[in-house]
Every structure is written in structure tokens, then in C-alpha cells.
Amino acid sequence: MGMALPARGGSIFKEGGIERLSIDYVPERLPHRESELRRIVEAFKPFLGHPHAWRRILIHGPTGTGKTVTAKKAGEILSKISRDMGVRFKYAHVNCRFERSAFGLVQGIIRQAIPGLPLRGYGPAEYLRALFGHLEDNDEVLLLTLDEADRLIGGLGDDLLYALTRASEAAEVPQRISIILIARDANFLGRLRPQVLSKIRPDEALDFKPYGRSEIFDILSDRVEGAFRAGSVSAEAIWFISKNASALGGGDARYAIQLLLAAGLMADRDGSPRILPEHVREAQERMDPRIDREDLLGLSREERDALLAVARALRAMGEAFYAPIEAVWGYYRVVCEGRGAEPIGRDSFEAILGRLRALGIVDIEEGAGISLPLMRARALEEFLEAGS
């Protein structure tokens, strides 16, 4: 860490690094979702090679908590296990938000479950019959994830779920299709018709909670290793991004990864060999702006002076994300001197910093000092200088 690598003509991203930060990428490991992943894999193991032993699992939780990626990872692991066991298994993953009709969804399922089947001239019922026939003929089982299943409401959704459970078939055929339902809101099950719910009711429901700051730190650290050249992203930068993602992004890992990617692109744009604090702040400004100039104009004289001191202290700190309060205090006194104004006392000064923190404009980190989470120190300094 901290080794300077020249980015001469290059990039701080590794080859293929940007792809490893893309939304759909399924990483090698899923820190802090290991136990959930194990539970899902264990739940479906008995289903491999036993087409009667179908199961239903519900994964629910807010955005960016790893629902989609964990289901996909479980599919990968189960595919490998079934290959080792010599049994036929397929994993299919469809997103109910992207498909406006049950027909589109069925096509999506078929495309993954029977890649060779020509997709013409069939209605949804024929497609499903073809799917059941294919599974039967090949002695195969299918694990189907219906992602964002809470978008699948109303008659069509109910009918599709009902048809997938083969409930309409009189004969005692094995089910052969297990289901993972993913939803932000677990209550959507209550909106299903009772006879559908009774067929699809989950055996197990997993509640994915928002990530905390240190969990996001671990997730990002993994991604940094895969996506960036060594030494280009400090632990301090990852820790800083993690705080924004947990405080502003509500514990959403996608928010964190997008912020990291955006900051990396800013560093590349500037030809910098490392992600600097100003890159993260600029990425934050662009991705999720939380304050505007108007907000700053509403601050008192003392607050603006204190903020100017924060900006100058941070600019002087260079690559450090935080400036010691002591240094900020020093800059504040210089600001006052420059205007020929009497500085307020140290206690009042800290009270003002506390207020700026409550407004979210500055961040105070125990032991590290004070920082600007939302906007570039340079832009803030210029703005405040112009307004004074």
C-alpha cells in the first residue's frame, strides 16, 4: 500500500478491471453473504437428481443488499455440484421488471433452459409444455430465479407462477422446477391469489439486511484487488467511500461500487496514479449530489468561515482524506485575520463544526479529523472565496 505507481499513458484499472466493477459481474467471493449463500445451496442440494424434491426460497431485502448476486452465485455452485454428481441441472435467472408480459418472461426462461429451442409460433402454455417435456426427456431439473418478483403481480403473474408449479396438470408428474423468489418487499406474497400462494409459499425466507460500513469496506476491498492496480486505491479511500455508501446510500453495495468506479475514472482522467480524496468527492457530487450552492448561501458568516478553513486545510493535506481539527482551527484564524475580524473562541468554533456536521456538510471521524464527504475542497474554497 502507498507505493507510487506511475500511471504514465496508462490507467489505474487492471486489464478487465472496469468489467469487474460492472453491475452484472458475479465476483469470486461474496463477503458477508457466505452464510446466506451456504443456506441456499444446502436447501437445493436434495433437489439435484431428485425431481420430486422441489423447493421454494424467498430472498427479500432493500436495494443493493446482494440478493441478485447471491442467487446467481448459488446457481453457479449448484451447477458445479451437479456436474460432479453427474446429474443434469440448469440454473435460469429472469428479471420480472424487464419483461412486461408473462410471455416475455417465459421466453426468457426458455432461452436459458433450452438454448436451442426456436422461439417462434408458440404461446406461453406451449412453451411451458415444451420446457416440462424437455426436463422430463433429459431427466433434468431446473432452478429458476424470478428476480424482482414483486413486479410480477396481477393476473398474468399469478397465472405464470401457478403454471410453473404444474398445479394445473392432473398427472402425478415430478415438479422438476425449484424456485427462488427475490423481492424488496416480502409482503408481495400476500397479494397473490390464495391458491397460487399455497403452491408457491416459500419453505424458507432469507432477510438480507443493509450492509454496515465495515461490511462495505470488505466488499470494496475485494473488488479493489480485482479491478485496480496495486497501490492505486488506499485503505483510507476505501474506508471513506464505505462511509458515504453506508451513510448516504443506506448500506447499498451497488452505491459503493459505483462510487468507487466513478472515482477511479476521475483519477484516470487526471492521469493520477492513485484515487485522491478530490476524486471521490467529485464522484459523489456527480453521482448523488446532496448540497447545492443555495444551501451554502444559507450558512452564517462564522459557518462559512469555518467551512473555508476546512476546505483550505484539506487542500493543504494533499492525499489525506481528513485534516486534524487543530489544523482547521489554524486556518480559521488566518481566514479571520485576512478579513480583520475577531475569531470566535475555540469552543464556539467546535460547536460550529458540530452544526456543519449535523447538516452533513462536513464529516468528523474520531481520531482522524475532519473531512468533506459531499463536495470537492477546491470547488468549495473557490465558491466561498468568491462570496466573501
Ligand X SMILES: Nc1ncnc2c1ncn2[C@@H]1O[C@H](COP(=O)(O)OP(=O)(O)OP(=O)(O)O)[C@@H](O)[C@H]1O
Which residues make up the interface to ligand X (CB under 6 A)? 23, 27, 30-33, 63-69, 184, 219, 253-254, 257
Least distance in angstroms from the C-beta of 108 to ligand X: 16
Q: β-strand 369-371 against 204-207: which pairing, if any?
A: unpaired
Least distance in angstroms from the C-beta of 67 to ligand X: 3
12, interface contact from ligand X, Mg ion, none, CB < 5-8 Å by kind: none
Q: Which three cell numbers stand for residue 24?
A: 452484472
Closest among 218, 286, 229 to 258, alpha carbons compared: 286
Instruction: Please enumerate in sequence order all residues whose Cβ is within 8 A of that of 329, keeping only pairs 6 or more positions apart, or say none.
Output: 309, 346, 349
Among 68, 70, 178, 234, binds Mg ion (CB under 5 A): 68
Least distance in angstroms from the C-beta of 68 to Mg ion: 3
* By CB under 5 A, residue 371 contacts Mg ion: no
Least distance in angstroms from the C-beta of 65 to Mg ion: 9
The secondary structure of 36-47 as a DSSP string is HHHHHHHHHGGG
**Dist CA 97 CA 202 (whole Å):** 21
Residue with Cβ nearer ligand X (252 or 305) = 252
Closest among 210, 263, 258, 211 to 233, alpha carbons compared: 263
| Residue nearest ligand X (C-beta atom) | 66
266, interface contact from Mg ion, ligand X, none, CB < 5-8 Å by kind: none
Q: Provide the edge-to-edge strand list for the sheet that holds 140-147.
A: 88-95, 140-147, 177-183, 56-60, 204-207
**Dist CA 110 CA 158 (whole Å):** 19
Which amino acid type is present at position 242? S
23, interface contact from ligand X, Mg ion, none, CB < 5-8 Å by kind: ligand X
Q: Which three cell numbers stand for residue 260?
A: 468507487
Residue with Cβ nearer ligand X (221 or 272) = 221
Least distance in angstroms from the C-beta of 147 to Mg ion: 6
95, interface contact from Mg ion, ligand X, none, CB < 5-8 Å by kind: none
Closest among 73, 63, 38 to 143, alpha carbons compared: 73
Residue with Cβ nearer ligand X (110 or 253) = 253
Least distance in angstroms from the C-beta of 182 to Mg ion: 6
Positions in the binding site for Mg ion (CB under 5 A): 68
